[in-house]
C-alpha cells in the first residue's frame, strides 16, 4: 500500500479515498461559504493582538482578492477540489498558501475544520431557507390568485373522498395557501435556530486565547454566536434535521395539493384542466397525457422526510464532540433542500396554468350533498338537531337538488366559502414578505461589506 501526503499528514491512498468519500463533489456547494467564513475569521485575526496582529491589514486585503477570485472560479465551475485536498477547507487553504505563502499558513489559527464546516453549512442554510420562503410565497400567491378568481365557483366538498357538503374552488385553493403560510412560519423558526454562528468553537473546546466570536458572528450576518463551544459542534446534524423538518412540512402541503390535482383532473371528475405542456405521454398508449409532476411531488415528499430521518439517525447516538459520522449528513441535507425548492417551483408554474371546468363542477352535485344544509334549515325552523338529522336521513330521496351557486352563498361566517377574508391572506403574505426582505437585505449587506463586492442571496 502507498501513502499520499496531505496538508494534515501522510494517509494510505485507500484510506484517503474511503474517508474523503463524496466530499470532493458535495463540498463544491460550500466553496463560496468557506471563502466568506475565512474572510470573517481573517478579519478577526487582523484585530488580535492589537499591538502585533496575526494577520496584517495588507495581508487581509491580499487575502480578500484571492478569496473573491476563488468565488469567481467556483461560479465558473473552474475551482477544483482534489481527493488529496480531502475537503473544501484544505483546498482553499492550499490555494491561498500557494499564492501568498506565510499568509496561507496563518489562516487556520484558532479554528478547526469542525467549526469551519459547521459555519459554512449554517451560511448555506441561511441562503437556502431564504430562497425556500421566497418560492413558497410565489406558490401561495398563485393559489390565492386562483382562489379569488374562482371564489364563487361551487365545488363538492368531500370527506372520506365521498360527497359531503357544498363548497367552493375558492375555499379549496385558499386552504392549501393557508397551509403553506403556516409552513413559512416553520421555515422561519428553523431559520432563527440556524442563525447562530459556531465559528470560533474550534474543535469543540475553544482555544487558549481571547478571540472575538461576537465580531465574526456579526461580520457573517448571524444574529449571535452559539454560546457553548461544545454545543456549537454538537448542534451540527441537529440543526440540519430541524431545517429538513420544516422542509418536510412544506412537502406535506405540496403532496396534498398534488394528490387533489391528480384526483380532480381525472376524466371521471374533470374539475380542473392542466396545460398540455405540463403533461407527459405514454410509450405505448397514444391517448395518454399524464400528470407525472404531481405523482413525483407526492413521492418526493417522502424523499425529503427520509433525508431528515437519515440525518436524525446518524446523529442520535453520536457522543459529544466531533465525529466523522457527520460527513454523511451533507448529502441528505443538500438533497432535501434541493428537492423542496424544485417541487415548489414546478408546482407554482403548474397552478398558473390551471383552469376550472365550471359546468362539470356544478354537474357533480346531487341532492344528497345538500342534506346537512336541509338539516340545519329545519333546526332554524325550530326542530332539534337530532330530530332534524333523523328526519332528513329517513327521507333522503325527497331532497331537492338546488343550485349549488345559491347554496354556498348562505355560508357567510368566518372562513366559509362566502366568508373568506381575502385581506387575511394579503396581510399574512405581506408580513412574511416583509420579514423575508429584512433577513435577505441584512444578510446580503453583511456579506457584501465583508467581501467588498456585491453578494446576492437569490
| Catalytic residue of the set 2, 160, 317, 413 | 160
Q: Is 282 a known active-site residue?
A: yes
Number of H helices and number of E strands within the chain?
A: 18, 8
User: How many C-beta atoms lie closer than 10 Å to residue 332's C-beta?
Assistant: 23
Q: Is 160 a known active-site residue?
A: yes
| Catalytic residue of the set 3, 17, 282, 302 | 282
How buried is 379 (Cβ within 10 angstroms: 0-12 exposed, 13-18 middle, 19+ buried)?
middle
For residues 197 and 217, the answer to whether their CB atoms sit within 8 Å is yes
Q: What is the 3-state secondary structure (H, E, C) of 315-380?
A: HCCCCCCCCHHHHHHHHHHHHHHHHHHHHHHHHHHHHHHCEECHHHHHHCCCHHHHHHHHHHHHHH
Plot region of 162 (φ>0 → left; ψ -120 to 50 → alpha; else → beta)? beta
How buried is 427 (Cβ within 10 angstroms: 0-12 exposed, 13-18 middle, 19+ buried)?
exposed
C-alpha neighbours within 13 Å on the C-beta side of residue 324: 7
User: Which secondary-structure segment (H or E) carries 196?
Assistant: strand 196-197
The DSSP secondary structure of 80-130, one letter per residue, reads: ---GGG-SHHHHHHHHHHHHHTHHHHHTTTT--HHHHHHHHHHHHHHHHHH
Q: What are phi and psi of 9, to 5 degrees?
A: 130, 175
Torsion of the alpha carbons at 69, 74, 77 and 81, rounded to the nearest 10: 110
3-class secondary-structure state, position 225: strand
> How far apart are the C-alpha atoms of 170 and 267, rounded to whole Å?
21
3-class secondary-structure state, position 163: strand
> How far apart are the C-alpha atoms of 448 and 352, rounded to whole Å?
35
Query: Where are the alpha helices (H) located in 195-237, listed in sequence order?
Result: 213-219, 229-234
Identify whether 49 is preceded by a cis peptide bond (ω within 30 of 0).
yes
Torsion of the alpha carbons at 220, 59, 79 and 118, rounded to the nearest 10: -30
For residues 325 and 21, the answer to whether their CB atoms sit within 8 Å is no
> How far apart are the C-alpha atoms of 129 and 159, rounded to whole Å?
34
Residues labelled catalytic: 160, 282
Amino acid at each position: 500500500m502507498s501513502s499520499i501526503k496531505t496538508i494534515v499528514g501522510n494517509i494510505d491512498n485507500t484510506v484517503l479515498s474511503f474517508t474523503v468519500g463524496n466530499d470532493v463533489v458535495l463540498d463544491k456547494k460550500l466553496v463560496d461559504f468557506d471563502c466568506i467564513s475565512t474572510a470573517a475569521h481573517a478579519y478577526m485575526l487582523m484585530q488580535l493582538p492589537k499591538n502585533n496582529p496575526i494577520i496584517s491589514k495588507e495581508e487581509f486585503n491580499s487575502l480578500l482578492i484571492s478569496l473573491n477570485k476563488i468565488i469567481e472560479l467556483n461560479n465558473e465551475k473552474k475551482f477544483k477540489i482534489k481527493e488529496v485536498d480531502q475537503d473544501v477547507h484544505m483546498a482553499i487553504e492550499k490555494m491561498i498558501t500557494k499564492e501568498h505563502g506565510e499568509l496561507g499558513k496563518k489562516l487556520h489559527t484558532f479554528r478547526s475544520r469542525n467549526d469551519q464546516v459547521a459555519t459554512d453549512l449554517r451560511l448555506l442554510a441561511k441562503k437556502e431557507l431564504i430562497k425556500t420562503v421566497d418560492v413558497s410565497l410565489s406558490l401561495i400567491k398563485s393559489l390565492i390568485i386562483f382562489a379569488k378568481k374562482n371564489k364563487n365557483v361551487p365545488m363538492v366538498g368531500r370527506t372520506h373522498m365521498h360527497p359531503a357538503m357544498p363548497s367552493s374552488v375558492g375555499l379549496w385553493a385558499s386552504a392549501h395557501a393557508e397551509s403553506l403560510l403556516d409552513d413559512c412560519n416553520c421555515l422561519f423558526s428553523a431559520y432563527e435556530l440556524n442563525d447562530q454562528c459556531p465559528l470560533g468553537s474550534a474543535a469543540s473546546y475553544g482555544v487558549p486565547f481571547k478571540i472575538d466570536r461576537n465580531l465574526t458572528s456579526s461580520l457573517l450576518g448571524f444574529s449571535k454566536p452559539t454560546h457553548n463551544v461544545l454545543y456549537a459542534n454538537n448542534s451540527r446534524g441537529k440543526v440540519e434535521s430541524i431545517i429538513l423538518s420544516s422542509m418536510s412540512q412544506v412537502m406535506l402541503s405540496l403532496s396534498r395539493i398534488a394528490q387533489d390535482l391528480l384526483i380532480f383532473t381525472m376524466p371521471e371528475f374533470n374539475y380542473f384542466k392542466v396545460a398540455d405542456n405540463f403533461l407527459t405521454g405514454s410509450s405505448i398508449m397514444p391517448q395518454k397525457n399524464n400528470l407525472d409532476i404531481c405523482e413525483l411531488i407526492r413521492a418526493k415528499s417522502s424523499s425529503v422526510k427520509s433525508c431528515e430521518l437519515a440525518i436524525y439517525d446518524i446523529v442520535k447516538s453520536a457522543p459529544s464532540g466531533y465525529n466523522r459520522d457527520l460527513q454523511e449528513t451533507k448529502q441528505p441535507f443538500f438533497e432535501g433542500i434541493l428537492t423542496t425548492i424544485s417541487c415548489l417551483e414546478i408546482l407554482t408554474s403548474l397552478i398558473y396554468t390551471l383552469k376550472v371546468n365550471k359546468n362539470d363542477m356544478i354537474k357533480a352535485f346531487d341532492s344528497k350533498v345538500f342534506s346537512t344544509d336541509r338539516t340545519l334549515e329545519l333546526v332554524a325552523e325550530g326542530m332539534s338537531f337530532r330530530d332534524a338529522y333523523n328526519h332528513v336521513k329517513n327521507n333522503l330521496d325527497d331532497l331537492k337538488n338546488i343550485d349549488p351557486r345559491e347554496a354556498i352563498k348562505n355560508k357567510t361566517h368566518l372562513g366559509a366559502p362566502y366568508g373568506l377574508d381575502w385581506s387575511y391572506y394579503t396581510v399574512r403574505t405581506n408580513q412574511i414578505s416583509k420579514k423575508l426582505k429584512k433577513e435577505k437585505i441584512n444578510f446580503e449587506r453583511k456579506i457584501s461589506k465583508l467581501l467588498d463586492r456585491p453578494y446576492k442571496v437569490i
